[in-house]
Amino acid sequence: MEKIIKELDKIDIQEQDKYEKILLQTDELYDLSKEADYKKGMVIALTKRALILVHQSNNTSTLKLMPEALSLAEEIGDYKNRSDLLMYKGIALTMVSDYDEARKCLGISLSICDQFKNKDSLHSAKVAIYCVLMDFADHGAKATKDKVYNDSMRYFARKAYDEATKLSDHCHVKKRWLGYTLAVMGSAFVHSGRIKEGEQYFDQAEKIIAKADDQLSLYAIYSERGRLELISKGNKEKALDYYNKAYRLVGHRPRLLEPLYKLYIEYYQKTQNTYMELYYLKKSKRLADSLSSENQSALLSQSRIKEKEAIESYKKVHDNTTDIVVFALGILAIGSGIFLFFYLNKKHKPDHQFSMEKNFKEVSGEYYPSPEKIERLLDLAKRNDSNFLITFQDTFPSLYQKLLNMCDEMTPNDMELCGYLKLNISSKEIATYKKTSVGSVDNRKYRLRKKLGISSETNLYIWISEIA
């Protein structure tokens, strides 16, 4: 157990390729600790698991582990992990727009920090919480259009920076936190219209971050600077260069991909590139649908909504698909005269963009199945009915065929798992339906990744929602 704990202490959240391995380690540590009645080990395992889950935007699983984790942390007087857990819970609740509960969790998390004996741990924890609070204020500003949130963003950004400066010089995360807090301060000023001040903070941040090798901070700077170049300076070429730099850093973090897609949409609107605008509209819609379904499941896990309301919301998310496709085809008809130009110049596209042919295929793809079919499939999954696989094939024929084409060694069990993923059913729920352990389900997911050649940094739920 001590060996696993030491390995988990070295977690770097920027190493997405290790996420699946870390989750398996947390399962192993939890099982060993529970068998030995070592509650400290159980808390560590659950806290590290929550850290990875929030970075995968798996809000449902994050929130479901909280009651046990927080209860154990409070029972043994583990202030550090209890504060971290409440922060992760606050992040997950912010993502699902439960702002009142999120603010409560973050406030308690902040107050617990004063119990820390180690000063660097105290200041580092407060930096993290203030940065999360700034993100909370950013979401609040976008959701309510209330200008008071912009003032809160600057306040929390300043508090985060002040805490970062209090870290001792031998603290290995000091440079990373200083760079990141300067970046978020720059974002706060840009959001409130104070462009020059924002750019000055970005300049300072970039100098520090270059030495600290902090990809997430660089992503924040590049995405903000790209928009500044586009909106304030009209430098379209430089804006796209910044966006592409940000794209290369983001990996497959849904929380970061979603705003970046919107920046690309805005860019291609400005440059009147109808085809690429449509391409990112489609990607953004798919990602938003997947996250919306995940958020409904997360709220359901918190008893914020009834199961019937969750199903209705799930239906509503996909009822708009027809309208989107019709709109898309309309854009294609209007822009058909431009096609030849972009086809002849396709070699000049950014390296992350796909061929025009694939754009057409995405636009003209099959409609989403009816709510009735989805509801029946969910019911079969819950009852572990042997007809699930046949019904899945009938409900998603295109997806089923694509999976077979990707790997001719796909077994019925593999296909069944893909069906659960398509329905956005969590590992814990799959384990319940199949009467097995969460670790066993995670092992099935690992083997599926190997067969289909899916990297560990890719969110399986979003991946399967995007291929068909």
**Exposed / middle / buried, residue 405 (Cβ in 10 Å: 0-12, 13-18, 19+):** exposed
The pLDDT mean for the chain works out to 78
pLDDT number for residue 298: 57
Query: Angle CA(191)–CA(87)–CA(22) in degrees, nearest 5?
Result: 110
Which of 330 and 5 is assigned the larger pLDDT? Answer: 5
For residue 64, is pLDDT > 80? Answer: yes
Q: What tens digit of pLDDT does each residue of 23-54 get? A: 888 888 999 999 999 999 999 999 999 998 88
CA angle 107–110–112, rounded 5-degree value? 110
In whole angstroms, give the CA distance from residue 190 to residue 196.
8
| pLDDT score at 212 | 60
How far is residue 197's CA from residue 205's CA, in Å, rounded to a whole number?
Answer: 12
pLDDT band at 13 (very low <50, low <70, confident <90, very high): low
- Tell me the H-state helices in 302-396: 307-319, 321-334, 339-344, 356-363, 371-382, 388-395
pLDDT for residue 346: 41
Q: Which of 134-148, 225-239, 417-431 has the lowest mean pLDDT?
A: 134-148
Distance of CA 73 to CAs 34, 398, 399, Å?
14, 47, 43
Minimum mean pLDDT among 23-37, 149-163, 438-452: which range?
149-163
Residue 376: exposure state from Cβ atoms within 10 A (0-12, 13-18, ≥19): middle
Q: Answer for the pair 274, 334: CB distance below 8 angstroms, yes or no.
A: yes
Q: Beta-carbon neighbour count of residue 15 at 10 Å?
A: 15
Per-residue pLDDT at 41: 93
pLDDT value, residue 309: 45
CA distances from 315 to 16, 292, 422 (A): 32, 11, 14
Residue 211 has pLDDT above 50, yes or no: yes
Longest dimension (CA), the chain: 70
Q: How many alpha carbons lie under 13 Å from residue 331 in its C-beta half-sphere?
A: 21
Say if residue 307's pLDDT is above 80: no
Q: Which of 117-121, 189-193, 276-280, 433-437 has the lowest mean pLDDT?
A: 189-193
What is the percentage of the chain residues whose pLDDT exceeds 90? 21
Confirm if 442 and 21 have CB atoms less than 8 A apart: no
Q: What is the DSSP letter of 233?
A: S
Higher per-residue confidence, 351 vs 196: 196
pLDDT at 294: 56
Residues 57/459, Cβ–Cβ less than 8 Å: yes
| pLDDT at site 87 | 95
pLDDT class of 225 with cuts at 50, 70, 90: confident
What is the phi/psi pair of residue 94, to 5°?
Answer: -65, -40
What mean pLDDT is predicted for residues 243-259? 79
Residue with tokens 């950004």: 157
pLDDT in tens, 344-395: 444 444 444 433 333 333 333 344 577 678 878 888 899 888 888 888 888 8
* pLDDT range class, residue 166, cuts 50, 70, 90: very high
Distance CA 245, CA 182 (A): 19
DSSP state of 337: G
- Identify the pLDDT of residue 299: 55
Cα–Cα distance measured from residue 173 to residue 351, given in angstroms and rounded to the nearest whole number: 33
